[in-house]
Amino acid sequence: MALLVLAACAEPPAKGPAPPALVRPPGIATPDYWRDVKPILDRRCVVCHGCYDAPCQLNLSAYEGLARGAHKKRVYDTTRLRLAEPTRLFEDATTVAQWRGKGFYPVLSEPTTSGAPPGPGVLARMLALKRQHPLPATSPLPDSFDFALDRKQQCPAESEFDDFAARFPLWGMPYGLPGLSDDEQATLAAWLADGAPYREPPPRAPAYEAQVREWERFLNEGSPKHRLMSRYLYEHLYLADLYFDDLPAGPWFRLVRSRTAPGEPIAEATSVRPGDNSPGALREKTRDVVATLGQRLGGLGAAWEQVTAMGLYTVHDLFPVLRDEVLAQAGPAALNGITWYCGQPPVQGGAIEIDLRAIRHDVHLG
Ligand code: HEC
């Protein structure tokens, strides 16, 4: 009888293991992001969480990536038929609120909208999970680890974490690798528990500033020749990481196009509305293509009046745009008209291609 009563009063059993907590070690001053935290992330996490292929799009190579958080969709998805909205860190959004609008959810502890006390955050829980279930010290990795490039991802938000931890107890971070050392774990635990504070990066040494200024002056010279050359340099180097080999190993640089003048804060000019083929975006793209054609003609020492044939390649209806953005700019060349090929330009993601020719005799062989 007593047993029956007990059973009736008992709490329903909790699902899965109790959520592990990452305990803040006492007696450590709040770690500094640049001095203490970033080196650990660089050493232990960035090998997987550093680029567009990062699991759950979680990019830990910069604080902005940590603050942005994670996303359920992958960037590289071979089964996707339509263009995805790009999510390039520093380019396609600049504030955390904008990233949230694009479907990113936090991995750090953040205040809840309901007013309930916030949890420790996905990142803290991933580290605690590893602590709770370390890898076997000597035997090979269990089969539950999948390292295939196209492995199915779970990417739990914090509300889904208990379920994730119950189903995949060995999948704490760093995934499939030995856990953090006691010191590394203590540093991250203290930093996360203190609210993951961040300060602006320390200023660069004056020698770097001087080099940056010199390159910016060289790349921004105004003559048509310089502008064409700078454009080509950009087209070739925009994917590269650059360094100065006459300075001590230090920061790496990227060549970016900015809407602001040298010396002012950078406002990066990203590609013209990628993936957006609304009427407004098509008008903007057409204007951009025609302006580039004008520049290229100038670079070749040619002019619109020498153009005898214009080819337009697009599957979109550009009729409303043609008069204002193409014919009006082409001036005398407009007399020859435009030939529209209703086809996709041979560039992935390209919406419009226009070519210009100066032809004396046009022989069609059939
Ligand atoms: C060997 C590669 C690898 C390393 C190294 C690694 N991770 Fe991960 N990480 C993964 C994979 C794979 C996942 C996705 C797991 C899933 O959801 O299926 C992941 C997911 C995560 C998530 C969850 C994101 C979400 O949406 O829930 C966090 C947080 C995370 N990692 C943090 C870290 C931290 C911090 C480190 C370094 C201490 C680290 N990772 C090191 C492979 C790695």
256 and 122 assigned to the same domain: no
Say what the pLDDT of residue 139 is: 80
pLDDT at 128 over 50: yes
Burial class (CB in 10 A: 0-12, 13-18, 19+), 242: exposed
Q: Is residue 142 part of a domain?
A: no
101 and 182 assigned to the same domain: yes
Q: What is the total count of domains within the chain? A: 3
The answer, yes or no, to whether any atom of ligand 1 lies below 6 A from the CB of 285, is no
Say what the pLDDT of residue 129 is: 95
122 and 256 assigned to the same domain: no
335 and 310 assigned to the same domain: yes
Q: Read off the pLDDT of each residue in 12-37 and give the average, rounded to a whole number.
A: 76
Q: Is residue 123 part of a domain?
A: yes
* Cβ–Cβ under 8 Å, residues 190 and 30: yes
* Atom 29 (ligand 1) nearest CA: 123
pLDDT at 9 over 50: no
81 and 116 assigned to the same domain: yes
The answer, yes or no, to whether any atom of ligand 1 lies below 6 A from the CB of 45, is yes
Q: Which residue of 22, 170, 173 sits with most ligand 1 atoms within 8 Å of its CB, as the best mutation to test the pocket?
A: 173
pLDDT at 16 over 60: no
Say what the pLDDT of residue 97 is: 95
Percent of the chain residues past pLDDT 70, beyond the cut: 92
pTM score, whole prediction: 0.73
Percent of the chain residues past pLDDT 90, beyond the cut: 45
40 and 183 assigned to the same domain: yes
Q: Is residue 244 part of a domain?
A: yes
Q: Is residue 5 part of a domain?
A: no
> Which pLDDT tens digit goes with each residue over 191-225?
999 999 999 988 888 999 999 999 999 999 999 99
Whose CA is closest to 161, among 14, 53, 20? 20
CA distances to 93, 169, 276 from 107, in Å: 18, 18, 30
247, 270, 293 — which closes off a domain?
A: 270
pLDDT at 274 over 70: no
166 and 253 assigned to the same domain: no
> Which pLDDT tens digit goes with each residue over 60-114?
999 999 999 999 999 988 888 777 788 999 888 989 999 999 999 999 998 877 8
Q: Is residue 122 part of a domain?
A: yes
Q: Which residue of 40, 159, 164, 175 sits with most ligand 1 atoms within 8 Å of its CB, as the best mutation to test the pocket?
A: 175
Domain hosting 351: range is 279-357
Q: Is residue 143 part of a domain?
A: no
More confident of the two residues 135 and 36: 36
Q: Are strands 309-313 and 339-341 parallel, antiparallel or unpaired?
A: parallel
